[in-house]
């Protein structure tokens, strides 16, 4: 079984086992885990066979947004990533198109339940929850629609400590802990109703929302105000092999590894050096999964420097000005080829190299799920969008932005309240992009512990300034906000290690001199301890360079922040530079000897549901002078079961490749019912 049985941060709990069959063979899984996770745990990653070319398909988003994971469950085609596992399920590979069920002579009647609320919130992620809490304080009634069985959204997938403001966005806490905290606060409010395992499928002109309630019944909700906090969906990349089982989004990987504790891979390669891609590498290493490398076509890391630094010192290389050319393998990912790019972003083939991996993670950005906002705005409703549905940013920003969205909605509904300018100012700071990078500070090593800060880039973060019992840490005042870097301001450090333990970037160490040529160094370590006092470990600097082999003196686990504090004996020369312990062997990151280049770039799949390639679409646009995305439906583009959620994002690039300016193109029509709803949910059988 591909289960994670021990984890440095997450508690591994016992769960009830159930039996099921896949293609007639018996397997076991955990009751109520998603079917896709149970299949992955049993080593099954091929879920369906497409009718076009008999191509195998696996998961992509693991969030119900696409249809890559559809299988036949008890005779019906269902998305395995949002279908809970139960005892005795008969699960089968979906081969080509599913068969229609036999029709009977039953009579049906419509019985549609209608609920009413002041504010309907679509999405129980960070922004949706904080907006609901603000509205509840003002005695408004709220209904939250959440398509999972638990609130928190992407917070539940995050095992790392959060950046931002400790006061305003729980900085220093881990994402899943914040999600649990917000859910408990929601449950304390009687005027907040949560519909779990439910999806909004449409917004209608008569100010009603159609809801697939409890994944079993279609209902209507009457509302006065609407907040869209539905988050974002993964962006796909167009390249040969992009639809092979084993190519999927970083969010899907975090779902499998952190939510469901599935060891989803043996070795991954990651595309994208934003915070999502960097954190995915961190999560992989925590789960015992090798990371061959990260590539980004840009010339600098897109995410926070402290994220990239900690990944590189763990042993994961980040290759900039580099792109992935293709994924390959027989019915699954077995290898990827990457190459450097020139100033026009064209690949330099002589730099190409191939890595043997079983997974290619796509962390190439997110696209807001804001279709309902556009519909509601067109209808003239009181509507606000929040979180990633409004602007892609960190969850800390989404939480604070949700508070503002809740207050703004209250104003729209007639509440006489003022929103302080301070709120808007804080919101802008929390969603700030990484800023200036400074040279490392000079450190004098003394006979008592002194903190060393390897946090040298302006980012919104302040937890280290809040935990020191001696008030030794403050932010410098260059910007006058939490974007400023930390500094040592009061030489009274007692070596408690709280600043080391709370730092989200694992970018603080403590050093003290113990002999003329040796020092003690306290480092953070968020991996399973596979060493003991007396062992020698490879200790690295901020850039991941190994400084020396250092002797472990002691280890201590901080229960509150779930971080190991490892004290080592090091040379005076290297002590102030030390910040990480290497966890991955260099051999994991080596390319194979023979580079694989046997593929055609134009074979990349754009429409995943219907398997329509770049060449097919570009040729059709050129041949028929297409200027309306809807015309592409003639070759089945956007006609698949995901409702064009994935391919529609790629259309500007594809039209540009065909020589057509996107400004001259009519966008595609949004299809009604954003989630599949069976007919049985719309009608009741007459007795």
The full DSSP string for 658-687 is TT--GGGSBPPPPPS-SS---HHHH-EE--
* pLDDT band for position 646 (cuts 50, 70, 90): confident
Long-range residue pairs from 39-44, CB within 8 A, at least 24 positions apart, any chain: 39/71, 39/80, 39/91, 40/2, 40/256, 40/262, 40/264, 41/1, 41/2, 41/3, 41/260, 41/262, 42/1, 42/2, 43/2
Contact 624, 82 (CB under 8 A): no
CA–CA dist 609, 66 (Å, integer) = 8
* pLDDT band for position 679 (cuts 50, 70, 90): confident
The per-residue pLDDT for range 327-348, each reduced to its tens digit, is 999 999 999 999 999 999 999 9
pLDDT in the model for residue 108:
64
- Residue 407 confidence (pLDDT) above 90: yes
The two beta strands, 366-368 and 232-234, are antiparallel
Torsion of CA 675, 678, 682, 683, to 10 degrees: 180
Residue ranges with strand state E in 52-204: 56-57, 70-73, 76-79, 89-92, 94-95, 108-109, 113-122, 142-145, 192-195, 199-204
Q: Which has the closest alpha carbon to 397: 458, 455, 459, 457?
A: 459
Contact 142, 413 (CB under 8 A): no
Across the strands, what pairs with 569?
520, 551
Judging by beta carbons within 10 Å of its beta carbon (0-12, 13-18, 19+), is residue 58 exposed, middle or buried?
Answer: buried
CA–CA dist 134, 471 (Å, integer) = 32
CA–CA dist 576, 133 (Å, integer) = 45
pLDDT in the model for residue 105:
62
Question: Mean pLDDT across the stretch 194-208?
Answer: 94
CATH of domain 17-97+236-362: 3.50.50.60
- CATH architecture of the domain formed by 113-232+368-430: 3-Layer(bba) Sandwich (3.50)
Looking at the chain, the whole-number percentage of residues with pLDDT higher than 90 is 86
Contact 506, 497 (CB under 8 A): no
Here the tokens at position 91 are 């699960």
CA–CA dist 304, 539 (Å, integer) = 22
pLDDT in the model for residue 687:
53
Eight-class DSSP state of 532: -
CA–CA dist 309, 304 (Å, integer) = 9
Contact 659, 626 (CB under 8 A): no
H or E stretch covering 79: strand 76-79
Helices (H), 264-394: 275-286, 305-314, 371-378
Q: What is the CA radius of gyration of the chain?
A: 26
The full DSSP string for 460-481 is SB-THHHH-TT--EEE-SSSSS
Residue found under tokens 């962390």? 363
Judging by beta carbons within 10 Å of its beta carbon (0-12, 13-18, 19+), is residue 666 exposed, middle or buried?
Answer: exposed
Calculate helix-pair angle for 126-137, 395-412, nearest 10 degrees: 40
CA–CA dist 413, 415 (Å, integer) = 6
The two beta strands, 17-22 and 89-92, are parallel
Across the strands, what pairs with 113?
219
Q: Which of 95-104, 371-380, 556-565, 673-682 has the lowest mean pLDDT?
A: 673-682
- Residue 31 confidence (pLDDT) above 90: yes
Question: Mean pLDDT across the stretch 551-567?
Answer: 97
Per the rule left: phi > 0, alpha: psi between -120 and 50, beta: everything else, 636 is left
- Write phi, then psi, for 202 (nearest 5 degrees): -175, 150
Here the tokens at position 115 are 């609920």
Looking at the chain, the whole-number percentage of residues with pLDDT higher than 70 is 98
pLDDT in the model for residue 106:
64
Eight-class DSSP state of 230: -
Query: What are the residue boundaries of the structural domains of the chain, listed by start?
Result: 17-97+236-362, 113-232+368-430, 450-588, 607-664
pLDDT in the model for residue 676:
76
Handedness of CA 620, 622, 624, 628 (dihedral sign): positive
- Residue 444 confidence (pLDDT) above 70: yes
Contact 30, 85 (CB under 8 A): yes
pLDDT in the model for residue 306:
95
pLDDT in the model for residue 214:
83
- Residue 577 confidence (pLDDT) above 70: yes
CA–CA dist 79, 71 (Å, integer) = 6
pLDDT in the model for residue 392:
86
CA 399 to chain centre: 16
Across the strands, what pairs with 353?
338
The per-residue pLDDT for range 449-485, each reduced to its tens digit, is 999 999 999 999 999 999 999 999 999 999 999 999 9
pLDDT in the model for residue 685:
58
What is the pTM (predicted TM-score) of this model? Answer: 0.93
The neighbour count for residue 558, using CB atoms within 10 Å, is 16
Q: Which residues contact 66 (CB under 8 A, 6 or more apart)?
A: 60, 608, 609, 642, 645, 646
Handedness of CA 90, 218, 136, 422 (dihedral sign): positive
The two beta strands, 382-385 and 113-122, are unpaired
H or E stretch covering 525: strand 518-525
The two beta strands, 113-122 and 142-145, are parallel
Length of the chain measured in residues: 687
Contact 207, 381 (CB under 8 A): yes
- Residue 540 confidence (pLDDT) above 60: yes
* pLDDT band for position 259 (cuts 50, 70, 90): very high
pLDDT in the model for residue 641:
85
pLDDT in the model for residue 684:
65
Q: Which residues contact 107 (CB under 8 A, 6 or more apart)?
A: 685, 686
- Residue 672 confidence (pLDDT) above 90: no
Q: What SS3 class is residue 585?
A: coil
* pLDDT band for position 670 (cuts 50, 70, 90): confident
pLDDT in the model for residue 104:
65
H or E stretch covering 210: strand 208-213
pLDDT in the model for residue 112:
84
Contact 362, 280 (CB under 8 A): no
* Mean pLDDT (the chain, rounded): 94
Residue found under tokens 């309630």? 213
């Amino acid at each position: 079984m591909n289960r994670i049985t021990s984890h440095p941060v997450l508690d591994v709990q016992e769960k009830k086992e159930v039996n099921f069959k896949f293609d007639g063979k018996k397997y076991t899984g955990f009751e109520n885990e998603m079917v896709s996770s149970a299949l992955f745990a049993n080593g099954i990653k091929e879920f369906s066979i497409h009718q076009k070319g008999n191509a195998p398909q696996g998961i992509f988003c693991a969030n119900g947004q696409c249809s890559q994971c559809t299988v036949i469950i008890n005779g019906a085609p269902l998305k395995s990533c949002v279908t809970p596992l139960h005892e005795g399920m008969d699960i089968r590979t979906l081969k080509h198109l599913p068969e229609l069920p036999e029709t009977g002579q039953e009579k049906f009647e419509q019985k549609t339940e209608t609920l009413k609320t002041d504010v309907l919130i679509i999405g129980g992620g960070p922004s949706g929850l904080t907006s609901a809490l603000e509205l509840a304080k003002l005695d408004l009634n709220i209904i939250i629609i959440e398509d999972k069985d638990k609130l928190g959204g992407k917070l539940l997938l995050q095992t790392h400590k959060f950046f931002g403001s400790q006061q305003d966005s729980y900085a220093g806490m881990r994402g899943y802990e914040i999600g649990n905290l917000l859910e408990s606060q929601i449950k304390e409010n009687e005027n907040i109703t949560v519909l779990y395992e439910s999806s909004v499928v449409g917004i209608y002109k008569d100010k009603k929302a159609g809801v697939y309630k409890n994944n079993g019944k279609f209902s209507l909700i009457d509302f006065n105000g609407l907040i869209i906090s539905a988050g974002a969906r993964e962006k796909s990349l167009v390249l040969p092999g992009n639809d092979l089982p084993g190519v999927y989004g970083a969010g899907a990987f975090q779902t499998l590894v952190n939510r469901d504790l599935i060891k989803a891979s043996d070795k991954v390669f990651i595309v994208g050096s934003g915070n999502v891609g960097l954190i995915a590498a961190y999560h992989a290493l925590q789960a015992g999964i090798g990371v061959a490398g990260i590539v980004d076509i840009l010339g600098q890391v897109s995410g926070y420097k402290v994220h990239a630094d900690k990944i590189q010192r763990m042993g994961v290389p980040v290759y900039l000005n580099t792109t992935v050319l293709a994924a390959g393998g027989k019915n699954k990912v077995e290898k990827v080829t990457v190459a450097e790019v020139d100033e026009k972003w064209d690949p330099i083939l002589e730099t190409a190299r191939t890595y043997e991996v079983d997974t290619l993670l796509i962390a190439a950005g997110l696209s807001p799920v804001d279709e309902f906002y556009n519909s509601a705005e067109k209808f003239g409703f009181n509507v606000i969008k929040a979180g990633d549905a409004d602007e892609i940013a960190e969850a800390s920003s989404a939480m604070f932005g949700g508070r503002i969205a809740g207050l703004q909605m209250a104003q729209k509904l007639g509440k006489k309240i003022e929103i302080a300018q301070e709120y808007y100012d804080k919101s802008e700071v929390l969603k700030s992009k990484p800023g200036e990078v400074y040279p490392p500070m000079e450190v004098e090593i003394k006979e008592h512990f002194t903190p060393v800060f390897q946090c040298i880039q302006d980012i919104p973060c302040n937890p280290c300034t809040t935990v020191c019992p001696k008030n030794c840490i403050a932010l410098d005042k260059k910007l006058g906000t939490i974007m400023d870097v930390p500094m040592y301001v009061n030489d009274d450090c007692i070596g408690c290690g709280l600043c080391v333990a709370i730092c989200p970037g694992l970018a603080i160490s403590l050093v003290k001199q113990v002999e003329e040529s040796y020092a003690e160094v306290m480092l953070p370590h968020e991996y399973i301890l596979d060493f003991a006092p007396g062992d020698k470990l490879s200790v690295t600097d901020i850039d991941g360079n190994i400084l020396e082999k250092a002797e472990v003196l002691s280890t201590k686990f901080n229960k509150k922040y779930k971080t190991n504090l490892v004290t080592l004996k090091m040379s005076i020369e290297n002590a102030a530079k030390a910040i990480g312990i290497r966890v991955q062997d260099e051999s994991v990151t080596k390319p194979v000897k023979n580079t694989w280049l046997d593929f055609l770039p134009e074979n990349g799949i754009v429409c995943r549901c219907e398997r329509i390639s770049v060449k097919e679409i570009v040729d059709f646009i050129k041949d028929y002078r297409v200027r309306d995305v809807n015309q592409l439906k003639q070759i089945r583009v956007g006609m698949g079961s995901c409702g064009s959620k994935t391919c529609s994002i790629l259309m500007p690039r594809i039209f540009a490749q065909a020589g057509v300016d996107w400004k001259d193109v009519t966008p595609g029509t949004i299809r009604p019912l954003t989630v599949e709803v069976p007919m049985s949910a719309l009608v009741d059988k007459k007795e």
